[in-house]
Structure 1
Amino acid sequence: MYTLLLVIIYIAFISLGLPDSLLGSAWPVMHQSLDVPISYAGMITVVISIGTIVSSLLSDRLTKKFGTGLVTVLSVLLTAIALFGFSSTQSFSMLLIFSIPYGIGAGAVDAALNNYVALHYASRHMNWLHSFWGVGASISPYIMSYFLTGGRAYTEGYFFVSLIQIFVTFTLLVSLPLWKKPKGVATASTEHYEPITLKDTLKIKGVLFVLITFFGYCAIESTTGLWASSYLVEYRGLPADIAAKFASFFFIGITGGRFLAGFISDVVGDKHMIRYGSLIILLGVGLFMFDYSSHTMYMISLIIIGLGCAPIYPSIIHSTPVNFPKRYSQSIIGIQMASAYLGITVMPPLFGFIVSVSTIGFFPVYLLILTGFMLVFSEKLNQKLKLAS
């Protein structure tokens, strides 16, 4: 039972990653097909993120009422419906409508599963599980690239991924009995935790700093995932199908990095994993700033950025029940998810605005600023927790 449940959680994490990188890899073609400016990608991410923020803030109550398993099933089903909608319309306004279930589906399951793993598994498992998110995020750009390279429509790529999500939904549905009383592991629904308001959460020492750090990290990840392909096409002159493949290497870096991080995270510790990851991101972005005659260097730079990103998200989540009272962990993680998706809501569209009034060439500089911002507040969090202990 225990092993089978763990396999199901791995599948759920793959499902979480599948939709996250589709828009960025498809957008260089999508905006032309839809006849909208390239900056409009930010509008879609705003709608998705608003839905995610709302469902993240409600995740503690939803999980306590329905249980982690059912919340996961319904959330994946919503993303499947949204992706099918993306595949069946050529209207930008309809894409915005389908972005609503897209976001709602992502938020609740993200918070519920992350809290479940943070409470019941070691740091290495959190990294390995999130590497499976990277598997999903790495696969979907390849799927999109396959259809684009074959001269077919981006809508077919979305349709194919929606079929995968439907299959995952069915798998999760038949697994529901495992979530009720898994042998050897207490479920999140039986774990004692208390919902807490946003106002009271912000009064807990260090919470504000971890929220800002998470905001900064997800701003980096989402901005890179959304705009890297467009930057390579519009500013560096790469073909759209090659740029879509290269964007997947960012997620491959995240996936491989989290797999490797699982072997050392329990020894190094969450705090140091976040610090070292931030420094590696700075190295990768620095390399990405230069003009290369060989396209390979852009791929290498994106892999390095992904490797730096790899341990940050799981380390922030895993350290939550350690840094703050366990009884509030579900609520705090839900609010962390909301803060993270606020970063996704605000920062990629902000770069879209910058592109509309200047040039997409500022992309690497923008990433450097975000990484510095995240690193500063991560260190402030460490200082705050040290003083409080």
Structure 2
Amino acid sequence: FSRLKQLETIGHDTSKVDLIIMGGTFTARSQNYQEEFVKGCIDGMNKKISPTLNEAILENEFSKRRCIGMTIETKPDWFNEREIDEALSYGTTKVELGIQVLNDSILRLNRRGHGIEEIVRSTQMARDAGFKILYHLMPGMYGSSYREDIRSFDMAMSDDRFKPDMLKIYPTLVVKNTALYAYWKEGKYIPYDTKKVVRMVTYFMKNMSPWVRVMRMQRDIPVNFIEAGVKRSDLHNLVDIEMENMGIKTMEIRSREVGIVKDSYGNDYNLIRRNYRASGGDEIFLSFENSKNDIIGYLRLRMPSDMAHRKEVLSSSIIREIKVMGNIVPIGAESAENWQHHGFGKKLLDEAERISLEEYGKKRIVVISGIGVRNYFRKYGYERLGPYMARELK
């Protein structure tokens, strides 16, 4: 609640709250801990303490400050059936998986506690349950190399077992009181310097799939805590400058969003469709883009794999994300100067329903909806179905 008040005091609209629970392996905590923590966050948005988590969630559907999305951060070995079902029960819509690198030997060497098998399984189960999938990549881990990190990125983009929706790129940093610090002091480990990381991430951006959004580059660690590695907090800016100097144009989403891209206003926006396979199912990425590939909004539609464990998605299609870009327009308001609340979301929704029914023969479509977005879907005939919103298609 205090944080929301701070944001309001400096002029931010807080009617749409995207809650991100960061740090540690959240799903390794007890179910009671997870539910109490989430309830506290939602109570803060509601400005009242509800007797139970479910009552807090119901209150938030109509609250002045609504939770439009919820993200948890965890490891692949801590996000399977049980953890997924728990996360769905309290409103989670996105999962950040700390995969770090797609190499079993390097993962073992760094004592990650999981391998590629766990990454594949967790990704598939979470995607089939409707979650947006964000991978943490950590170039320069102990035992890795520049070539291996490039190979790992290429594998994440091209191998159907992976293909995340979003990335956070965290170059390995040396901090005190860690095993890596001891290896560095002994000369057994040499981290990448800034120049090498900029060159590598520039390659990533050049080869990014058009359905991927890079959410962050570089950990938010005070420079005085970093003993070795990239100490620049403006890594993203350095990469942008490098791409501009090299004449590289990326298809990464954030670099193309209206509101971020200058001079992106106009009327030449068309509905673009991109199909790809991932985790045993079909993915359809729908977006409104102009001739320069600037993007107004997008929708992620999935035809789940045969391994989906949630009964609600069996024989259904599932919308994993629907988003319109630009500055926030408060719930119920309109703005001629911004893109939200101008019907783009409804057009994306209509096309997803058409594809589901006419091309895949699905009789039902479900949405993994943020708590505070459920009423938006109710306007178009969607009803609660377990943790989802759903509509029968005719």
So what's the TM-score if we normalise by structure 1?
A: 0.26
Rg bigger for which structure?
2
So what's the TM-score if we normalise by structure 2?
A: 0.25
Name the structure where strand makes up a greater proportion of residues.
2
Name the structure where helix makes up a greater proportion of residues.
1
With a CA cutoff of 8 Å and minimum separation of 6, indicate the structure with the bigger relative contact order. 1
